[in-house]
Amino acid sequence: MTSLSMGAMSMDAVSVIRTKRDRGEFSDEQIDWVIDAYTRGDVADYQMAALNMAILLNGMNRREISRWTAAMIASGERMDFSSLSRPTADKHSTGGVGDKITLPLAPLVAACGAAVPQLSGRGLGHTGGTLDKLESIKGWRAALSNEEMLSVLDSVGAVICAAGDGLAPADKKLYALRDVTGTVEAIPLIASSIMSKKIAEGTGSLVLDVKVGTGAFMKTIEDARELAATMVGLGTDHGVKTVALLTDMSTPLGLTAGNALEVRESVEVLAGGGPADVVELTLALAREMLAAAGVRDADPAKALADGSAMDAWRRMISAQGGDPDAPLPTSKEQHVVKAGASGVLTRLDAYDIGVAAWRLGAGRARKDDPVQAAAGVELHAKPGDTVTEGQRLLTLHTDTPERFEYALRAIEDSYDVAASGTAFTAAPVVLERIA
């Protein structure tokens, strides 16, 4: 690309790349131009790949990241929920193994008086994404028009659906490029990718669940803290009240990792049961969302106990064509992994369990790969539990039993059992709060 194709001599891709290569600071005009030109196809992928690498190596300051995010928002449409009678609050998770929290959280917050416009995605690697999970429900559909989304929000108070192509199209191109050029890890690009879509979505407030640990994208508390602080700053700069929780992802969340398996567990939470860690995180995020939206007089724990959250779930699923009473898919084949010794389970690695679930068919290696609704891993013990030799530790689920051998390799060293009586202290679910 040359500046002549822009009809002016003041801006070109090479000069923008050189600015960051030489540890310079982008001007607002450079950022606006390069995002717009790349979205239109006037900057080549190889040029943007070089720019992304320069950003990965040399970073961007808060002003640059904020302007970069604004330029990505400006590349598409911006949704408007001002016609709703309720305040809006959304949540974003950076993703983890067994992270089904969106499913019980959205109807729970709706039952408490806020509206939740949750635009979600499909998974790549590990287990499926939120939409993959919900698509295991008979009839449920992810693709809604903006008008349909607003209608469900108005009538139910919560919607979980796919983002339309008009929302931050620059991010769609940039994310695909980062994925194949080794630049996914750049915190300025991660933060602007997430926040451009969330701000364009039009929510009034946002709560971020930034995962930390082996099963998360951010492996260290320091990296997670930097990402969370960057995103909170972006939300603030763009007028969206934003709070972040750093949460543990060294161990899978709950007792399932898969698609239909996680829907089943989410329904258990909405029915007043479910694993303690899932309930704890769901309530913590619900309280943050309600506070950010200005809803002060609702108790999410009560909404779980009295069935109002379950009622909102059923209405939300039905409004999107799903049958909340339909049986969930179950796998054709199962394989039980038993404890090799008696004692205290002291480690169950989230990443290894996620890889096993993926190899069983619950996730995808390429974006167009199909997923198995019933595939995944079921946990029968969590760190801190006492186990006995021969006891069921995990159950692997798949429709294609030839996958078992490959999945078993992933979990060969995924857990430790210490002598009985060994002291064990689990990491807290919520590690830090950043506002």
**Catalytic choice (93, 136, 193, 196):** 193
- What would the 3-class secondary structure string for 142-177 be? CCCCHHHHHHHHHHHCEEEEECCCCCCHHHHHHHHH
Which residues 6+ apart lie within 8 Å of 341 measured at CB? 389, 417
> Residue 170 corresponds to which amino acid?
A
Radius of gyration, alpha carbons of the chain: 22
Question: Does the annotation mark 5 as catalytic?
Answer: no
DSSP helix/strand/coil, 51: helix
Catalytic annotation on 178?
A: yes
CB atoms < 10 A from the CB of 162, how many? 18
Q: Which of 171, 209, 277, 349 is catalytic?
A: 171
CA distance 367 to 142: 16
C-alpha 103: how far from chain center:
12
DSSP 327: P
Annotated active-site residue 382? The verdict is no
Tokens at 194, concatenated: 């997430």
**Of 20, 92, 198, 364, which residue is the catalytic one?**
92
Cα–Cα distance measured from residue 374 to residue 360, given in angstroms and rounded to the nearest whole number = 10
Helices 62-74, 187-201: axis angle to 10 degrees equals 40
- The yes-or-no answer on residue 193 being catalytic is yes
Strand partners, 415: 348
Residues forming beta bridges with residue 258, ordered by sequence position: 376
Set 173, 178, 241, 315: catalytic member: 178
CA distances from 79 to 146, 216, 238, 380 (A): 8, 30, 14, 43
Which residue numbers are catalytic? 92, 171, 178, 193, 197
